[in-house]
Chain A
Amino acid sequence: MKGLLRLFAILRKEVRQLRRDRLTFGMIVGIPLLQITLFGFAINTDVRHLSAGVADHANTQFSRILAADAQASQVVDITRRVETPEQLETLLRRGEISVGIFIPSDFGQRLARRDRPAAQLMIDGSDPLILAAARQLTGMSLRYDTAPRQTTDVPLFEIRNYYNPERRSAVNIVPGLMGVILTMTMVLFTAVAIVRERERGNLELLINTPVRNLELMVGKIIPYVIIGLIQVSLILLLGVLLFHVPIQGRMIDIYLAALVFIAANLTMGLVISTLARTQFQAMQTTFFFFLPSILISGFMFPFDGMPRAAQYIAELLPLTHFVRLIRGIMLRGAELSELLSEMWALMAFMLITLGVAMLRFKKRLD
């Protein structure tokens, strides 16, 4: 009987404390809400509207029908029209399109003879989901083709799988995983950095010294930048040794992209650190940032498969831009100069969050 009373004493205390801990309360509702909506939005293995480019050398009625049919299938969205297959390759490398449709000048004859594929699909195969989606086009038949089709083994398209001919998922996952690992560790490092000083009482001493905001912030970031770069090296090493992930691009580009990305995550952590009151709160808040990052950045599910709203939100997350950068450099051999818009996005994110952290951090107790 006494045991029961004591049990209830603990229970009642726990509920009372829980009611006053708004962030935990928020997690009870927020986590399911976030998870369900994000997963619901993002998990879409039936990927549609892959951005595509067309190089039409035939330029006949049929070739235009082919492009229109591909568009109508909703598998691709034709966003670019270029002159040569080489230009399609450039667009693929830059990540501006996932699929290139090359229609050769003898398209009409090929179509008539049906002894070999009439056109070529150039697919960014680094993501197996995109590859699978784009392959749906091979089963397509042209609209004019109303007559019962002769059974022939020759498909409409010849497929060229770029960047991941062996279709190994590790190739696609490892570079993105680098971004995920960096997000998780970097944000958390600085998220607890200032809160920890506050909790331990160091902050009251520190804000009474001539130390300036910027000095404090940058001084806290720099050691973790170096730690982040060590992590990058470790992941690259493991990726190459264990999973034989190719590194097509230049090493310096990988490190430059990682450097800006690390800094952006660290400044995000600083913002969290100025919001949270305790280290536990900082960790909870970090989790709220981490969850959407991992789900809608394009790391787990192809960006093109997500609805517009999710895509817009994803553009605000550093991981989205880093996944594009690192896949471009590592898998497609893109140069950093071809991906500058992603770099600018990361830098803007870093500067804005650093500014917010500095504005929020006051050398005062009120």
Chain B
Amino acid sequence: MSGDYAITARGLTRRFGTVIAVDHVDLAISRATIYGFLGPNGSGKSTTIRMLCGLLTPSEGEAEVLGHRIPGEAEAIKRKIGYMTQRFSLYEDLTVRENLEFMADVYSLPRRSARQRIGQLLDKYNLADRERQRAGTLSGGQKQRLALAAVTVHEPELLFLDEPTSAVDPQSRRDFWESLFELCDKGTTILVSTHYMDEAERCHGLAILDRGRVVADGAPQELERRIDASVVEMETGDSRTVRRLLTDLPGVLSVTQLGMRLRVLLDRSVADPLALIRTGLIGQRLQFDARLTHPNLEDVFVAATQGRYLKAQA
């Protein structure tokens, strides 16, 4: 099975004292794909990534990463992976080039190919004119590009990216994802954690994590198809009152406000969601307009974290 999969995991669990950070996570991540971990802070994304690169020992369960067993063969994995930490972890008092040279040496790249590779990376990540600048003085987007360049210096088969875009502007995020697709096209497997829906949407495969458990997994489109809820979009003049009234109705899972609009998630068991909403708002003298719509990934996320999600049949 390790031939097709870069990562497989069975019952991966990690406890910190009495807190269960990761709770029996199963994974099967195909090679040369971008796989996303979507979840709020504290859902166990970072802990899972750290276990998969051998930084944390699982309390229970096991994983196979690029054909190496975890726990046990953590050191062998380190040459083949790159790990971009959530916090900028290169040396701020070294220049851009010095940081890359350091990483090249640490991964024992021969001098000549190292120089060549660093040149390539500086060009590719648009850092050539910054090579003599100290890393600490770079902007958020530049730091992030440097970090990606640094963890790909040794051309790893597998990249772990822990919330790589949390500190950069939207344009940088788009460029960053372009780079990821480029790497993926060349055969790199990428595991990326995020709490942005639009980023999750770009992944080939996705696991939604909530309180340490995988509550949904699959391709984003597939997840949207399999959602166990219907979605109603509403426009109303008094969204706060409407929201309060709807939240109390039986069968309503969640109501999210998006400016003037409301997005209402209802249990599948509700036969006619629009009728339920109309009945619920009768006699309130409220102007509103409601229509059924397609679920998006955020709906999937909300439904899944409330346990309203049909798992794929194994």
Task: Report how far A201 CA is from B84 CA in the complex, Å.
Answer: 11
In the bound complex, do residue B57 and residue A208 qualify as a contact, i.e. CB atoms below 8 Å apart?
Answer: no
Kindly list chain A residues whose C-beta atoms are within 8 Å of the C-beta of B108.
210
The answer to the question of A366 belonging to the interface, with a C-beta cut-off of 8 Å to chain B, is yes
In the bound complex, do residue A209 and residue B78 qualify as a contact, i.e. CB atoms below 8 Å apart?
Answer: yes
Nearest CB to that of B153 among chain A residues?
A: A209
Kindly list chain A residues whose C-beta atoms are within 8 Å of the C-beta of B54.
208, 364
Kindly list chain B residues whose C-beta atoms are within 8 Å of the C-beta of A363.
55, 74-75
The answer to the question of A207 belonging to the interface, with a C-beta cut-off of 8 Å to chain B, is yes
The answer to the question of A211 belonging to the interface, with a C-beta cut-off of 8 Å to chain B, is yes
For B56, give its contact among A205, A206, A365 (CB under 8 Å). A365
Interface centre among A206, A207, A209 (most CB of B within 10 A): A209
Task: Report how far A210 CA is from B50 CA in the complex, Å.
Answer: 16
Kindly list chain B residues whose C-beta atoms are within 8 Å of the C-beta of A205.
83, 85, 89-90, 150
In the bound complex, do residue B107 and residue A210 qualify as a contact, i.e. CB atoms below 8 Å apart?
Answer: yes
Nearest CB to that of A200 among chain B residues?
A: B92
In the bound complex, do residue B91 and residue A208 qualify as a contact, i.e. CB atoms below 8 Å apart?
Answer: no
Task: Report how far A233 CA is from B231 CA in the complex, Å.
Answer: 78
Kindly list chain A residues whose C-beta atoms are within 8 Å of the C-beta of B265.
none
Task: Report how far A157 CA is from B69 CA in the complex, Å.
Answer: 80
The answer to the question of B88 belonging to the interface, with a C-beta cut-off of 8 Å to chain A, is yes
B268 to chain A, nearest CB (A): 42
Interface centre among A200, A202, A205, A366 (most CB of B within 10 A): A205
The answer to the question of B106 belonging to the interface, with a C-beta cut-off of 8 Å to chain A, is yes
Contact with A along B55-82 (1 / 0, CB 8 A): 1110000000000000000110011010
In the bound complex, do residue A202 and residue B91 qualify as a contact, i.e. CB atoms below 8 Å apart?
Answer: yes
Contact size range, B:
20 to 34
Contact with B along A345-366 (1 / 0, CB 8 A): 0000000000000000001111
The answer to the question of A204 belonging to the interface, with a C-beta cut-off of 8 Å to chain B, is yes
For A202, give its contact among B56, B74, B78, B90 (CB under 8 Å). B90
Contact with A along B112-137 (1 / 0, CB 8 A): 00000000000000000000000000
Kindly list chain B residues whose C-beta atoms are within 8 Å of the C-beta of A207.
55
Nearest CB to that of A208 among chain B residues?
A: B83
In the bound complex, do residue A201 and residue B56 qualify as a contact, i.e. CB atoms below 8 Å apart?
Answer: no
A342 to chain B, nearest CB (A): 38
In the bound complex, do residue A210 and residue B75 qualify as a contact, i.e. CB atoms below 8 Å apart?
Answer: yes
In the bound complex, do residue B89 and residue A210 qualify as a contact, i.e. CB atoms below 8 Å apart?
Answer: no
In the bound complex, do residue B85 and residue A204 qualify as a contact, i.e. CB atoms below 8 Å apart?
Answer: yes
A337 to chain B, nearest CB (A): 40
Kindly list chain A residues whose C-beta atoms are within 8 Å of the C-beta of B74.
363
Nearest CB to that of B53 among chain A residues?
A: A208
Task: Report how far A208 CA is from B107 CA in the complex, Å.
Answer: 11
Task: Report how far A206 CA is from B256 CA in the complex, Å.
Answer: 42
A191 to chain B, nearest CB (A): 19
10 contacts between A and B (CB under 8 A): A200-B91, A200-B92, A204-B55, A205-B89, A205-B90, A207-B55, A208-B55, A208-B78, A366-B56, A366-B57
Residues of A within 8 A of B (CB): 200-211, 363-366
Known: A201-B89, A366-B55. 18 other contacts (CB 8 A): A201-B88, A202-B91, A203-B89, A204-B55, A204-B85, A205-B90, A205-B150, A207-B55, A210-B75, A210-B106, A210-B107, A363-B75, A364-B54, A364-B56, A364-B57, A365-B50, A365-B55, A366-B56
